[in-house]
Chains A and B, each alone.
Chain A
Amino acid sequence: MALRAVKQFLKMDVRTVMNHKATWWARASAATAALVFAGVAHAERQLNMKLPVTQAGQTMYDLHTLMLVICAVIFVGVFGVMFYSLYAHRKSVNKNVATFHESHLVEVVWTVIPFVILLVMAFPATKAIIAMRDTSNPDLTIKVTGYQWKWGYDYLKGEGEGVRLVSNLSTPQDQIFDRTAKGENYLLEVDNPLVVPVGKKVRILTTADDVIHAWYVPELAVQQDATPGFIRDTWFKAEKVGTYRGQCAKLCGKDHAYMPIVVNVVSEADYAKWVGEQKKKMAAAGDNPDKTWTVPELVARGEKAFAANCAACHQANGRGLPPAFPSLVGSKVVTGPVAGHVDILLNGRAGTAMASFKQLSDVELAALVAYTRQSWGNKVDEIVQPADIKAIREGGKPGKQAAAKANGAAS
């Protein structure tokens, strides 16, 4: 109520200030920017938080506004006094220098008043937090898994149950290395965005496969660390159809800057439609793991899988970036016994950046084995069929070493 008023007030006031600053920044930077490269100057300028599209977000936004106003007022007050004193009590003018050096009364006063102000801040904050952490009875539950460096989404409960996506950055390397002009959603675009229905409470369970990541979408007012081996949760209920973009917020290694999050909030109807398509796709594209594949088939399939999952580290030419990311050309594992090859794909390698890829399908894994063994001059005939992978998987839980890896301990 009062908050609304405050916000309204600030809205106006800030906007005037904003415009003022805006032009200022524009001049300051556009000048330089022009020298650097065009385009930037046109980029949107943002002085406050993005307006969130969730209730929780709204409260958060208002809280921030409230804090801003209170702090601004105190700041102006305190330093009004200071600058007045600096001016009026400078040596050249102030002839009657005081000598007082304590006064219990004022000292008590300026201990108590700040305390009271803090209470004023704490009260709405507490309410907001309690609401924020209430993840009970959601309409849709999605498990979000952080991988180096992509996101996996499993629709666990609610409409769309069973749908699974892996979401990769889709910005081309050429843009990153300034070889071509950058698109408007540079670094904030993915191949498979997360799709959720509008106006439904979506519970997000976060976890990770290798290191800590954080699932952060400002406009949904959510940020939740994804910790390997643990499940943590958060929730949001988007009130507006639209596309909302965020990024991994926890430093997770080399490509931390390159694992964006895109959430498409769609109408219920569109959502139902989307779910239908996904189901169909999965049925169709579901490369059949039971048939016996020919080597060329596998290699062809493997090339795709490699580009999507491995090239980030081992590079498209298989030569990697040693020492962190070893070359696969003539590598012991790739040219060695196939069992070891499958094992490293399924379980990763402890104490290195080589993560487990057990999330991939049997076909994809078999295809990867075939592709890496038959590319870049590697010529090894011993390969595996999807069925074999299946068998190996069912060979029980991954060993301790694998687990240790999955959670990042040295062996």
Chain B
Amino acid sequence: MSSIPHDHAHGHDHDHHHPTGLMRWITTTNHKDIGSMYLWFSFIMFLAGGVMALTIRAELFQPGLQVVNPELFNALTTLHGLVMVFGAIMPAFVGFANWMIPLMIGASDMAFARMNNWSFWLLPPAGLLLIGSFFVPGGAPGVGWTLYPPLTIQMGMGMDMAIFAIHILGMSSIMGSINIITTILNMRAPGMTLMKMPLFCWTWLITAYLLIAVMPVLAGAVTMLLTDRHFGTSFFNAAGGGDPVLFQHIFWFFGHPEVYIVILPGFGVVSQVIPAFSRKPLFGYASMVYATAAIAILSFVVWAHHMFTAGMPVAGLLFFMYATMLIAVPTGVKVFNWLATMWRGAITFEAPMLFSLGFIFLFTFGGFSGLVLSIVAIDIVLHDTYYVVAHFHYTMVAGALFSAYAALYYWLPKWTGHMYDETLAKWHFWLSLIFFNITFFVQHFLGLAGMPRRIPDYALQFAEFNLISTIGAFGFGITQLLALYIVLKCIKGGEKAPAKPWDGAEGLEWTVPSPAPYHTFEEPPVVR
């Protein structure tokens, strides 16, 4: 695959007029520009989704209805889920991929620079459709990010906007993934064999495969929703011989791999950061690669663990339970490898390391709650309660989001040419860590006590923990503004960053100066 003859000709000429101002960003074909745009878009979406989350938490501050009405509450829950997953986390990691993969494998740019630009510029229209749905008659869909029919059928125009937004996001993800796969398979520098590739590239390669495998499936599912809504088909309608549960199967066939799409690049980041700050090579590189692949493959056969209460034959329940539990093994391998990497290293605790350690600690915790949920008999009483909400915020906020922050602080010097403010960054970590747990740890208790999710109002017995959770949420929220400040400060100035600001760091990205010049590796470096 990578053995295509390299004809070493001169790189392409620069003396082209480059548009400036806004047009530069709109028309750019430069992976660094596009990476930055992805990251900014993702952070804006994060703030949007966060404000929704805080509104939700405000309503749940105490029993009774005070802040929003139930319809709006459901809409907020739905959009919070969609915006955070599709608008904040996924684009964030695509942004890191755009910035770093070419630098890590010694390529001059992404394989399809123009299509790369389109992948990004498809996001704003999608984002507008999603957020815009709040302002149309009937409001945003209040069906949950899982879009279960028949409730979906009852919604107004906002539902259709969400559906088309998902179509567009799908296009974007598929093009982006094809771009990443092609770049990695076809543009590695001479001598950079697959098994020499930084792990971040590996996890992204596998993530990209997951994406092109399941995004079209989601598109198909929402298309059927659309025809059921407007063209009288009966895919999810028992009256016509269809079945609402069919949608659940198709959605989760997408949905479970999706959650690994969210976390795998994070695994990659942590696998770059831990060795760098332990000043010791990554332990078990090969097994890391195999474990990632194993997780990806298993993720296709566990989807029904989201449907244990839908009514399934015992055989089905058992199969999906066993398959789900199995995922603990490869994930465990990763956790253990990270520990072994630190073992007898020379560890220091800069912000990227702190966020990576926070990641390992809290993600594993979330993994365990996942394991508890995978036991059918237990899931029966915990399904659709706050225990699940707690589980997936441990995996997605303390998991995906923390690893994203680790990546941010790890590569920020390379992007801006300045060191970020380490003290503030440490504050950002510790405050996030504390407020995160205040927000979500207590939600386990709520779930165990039987508080259902997606409710704007609750019985008195849940009052105290909800109150605590809300306080934590606002603390966490404000803390995130600190991150924004740190980034802006770092862009504006600060101590000059050397080409390799982390003495333990490895890889081609540290061989180019900081800030990384606009064009890099036009003549591929040779890796031994």
Q: B459 to chain A: which residues have CB within 8 Å?
A: 185-188, 245
Q: A188 to chain B: which residues have CB within 8 Å?
A: 459
CA distance A79 to B233 in the complex (A): 53
Q: A227 to chain B: which residues have CB within 8 Å?
A: 238, 243-245, 310-311
| Other-chain residue from A212, A216, A230, A232 in contact with B151 (beta carbon distance below 8 A) | A212
A33-B464, A79-B361, A247-B452 known; A101 and B326 CB under 8 Å? Answer: no
Q: A275 to chain B: which residues have CB within 8 Å?
A: none
Q: Are A64 and B378 in contact (CB under 8 A)?
A: yes
A25-B468, A408-B237 known; A71 and B368 CB under 8 Å? Answer: yes
Which residue from chain A places its CB closest to the CB of B372 in the assembled complex?
A67
CB A364 to nearest CB in B, in angstroms, measures: 24
B455 is an interface residue with CB less than 8 A from chain A: yes
CA distance A411 to B229 in the complex (A): 8
Q: Are A223 and B383 in contact (CB under 8 A)?
A: yes
CB B249 to nearest CB in A, in angstroms, measures: 13
Q: Are A89 and B343 in contact (CB under 8 A)?
A: yes
CB B521 to nearest CB in A, in angstroms, measures: 27
Number of interface residues of A (CB under 8 A): 119
> Which of A110-118, A156-164, A301-309 has 4 or more CB atoms under 8 Å from chain B?
A110-118
| Other-chain residue from B71, B232, B285, B357 in contact with A102 (beta carbon distance below 8 A) | B285
B51 is an interface residue with CB less than 8 A from chain A: no
B230 is an interface residue with CB less than 8 A from chain A: yes
A184 is an interface residue with CB less than 8 A from chain B: yes
CB A245 to nearest CB in B, in angstroms, measures: 8
B449 is an interface residue with CB less than 8 A from chain A: yes
Q: Are A129 and B345 in contact (CB under 8 A)?
A: no
A46-B445, A75-B364, A98-B343 known; A233 and B150 CB under 8 Å? Answer: no
CB B315 to nearest CB in A, in angstroms, measures: 10
> Which of B198-206, B210-218, B317-325 has 4 or more CB atoms under 8 Å from chain A?
B317-325
Q: Are A125 and B448 in contact (CB under 8 A)?
A: no
Q: B461 to chain A: which residues have CB within 8 Å?
A: 43-44, 46
Q: B230 to chain A: which residues have CB within 8 Å?
A: 410
Interface positions of A from 366 to 411, Cβ below 8 Å from B: 400, 403-404, 406-411
Interface positions of B from 134 to 159, Cβ below 8 Å from A: 137-138, 142-144, 148-151, 153-154, 156
A409-B228, A409-B237 known; A251 and B344 CB under 8 Å? Answer: no
Q: Are B237 and A211 in contact (CB under 8 A)?
A: no
Q: Are B309 and A211 in contact (CB under 8 A)?
A: no
B512 is an interface residue with CB less than 8 A from chain A: no
CB A51 to nearest CB in B, in angstroms, measures: 12
Q: Are B452 and A81 in contact (CB under 8 A)?
A: no
> Which of A254-262, A278-286, A287-295, A337-345 has 4 or more CB atoms under 8 Å from chain B?
A254-262
Contact with B along A89-107 (1 / 0, CB 8 A): 1110010111111100011
B437 is an interface residue with CB less than 8 A from chain A: no
Name the 8 nearest CB pairs between A and B, nearest first: A229-B238, A408-B150, A232-B311, A257-B455, A218-B450, A403-B239, A98-B344, A409-B237
- B contacts, CB < 8 Å to A: 61-66, 70-71, 74, 137-138, 142-144, 148-151, 153-154, 156, 228-234, 236-240, 243-245, 278-287, 309-311, 314, 317-318, 321-322, 325-326, 328-329, 332-333, 335-337, 339-349, 357, 360-361, 364-365, 368, 371-372, 375-378, 380-381, 383-385, 442, 445, 448-450, 452, 454-461, 463-465, 467-468, 471
- A contacts, CB < 8 Å to B: 25, 28-29, 32-33, 36-37, 39-41, 43-50, 52, 56-57, 59-60, 63-64, 67-68, 71, 74-75, 78-79, 81-82, 85-86, 89-91, 94, 96-102, 106-107, 110-111, 114-115, 118, 121-122, 125-126, 128-130, 132-133, 175-178, 182, 184-188, 206, 210-212, 214, 216, 218, 221-225, 227-230, 232-233, 245-258, 323-324, 351-353, 400, 403-404, 406-411
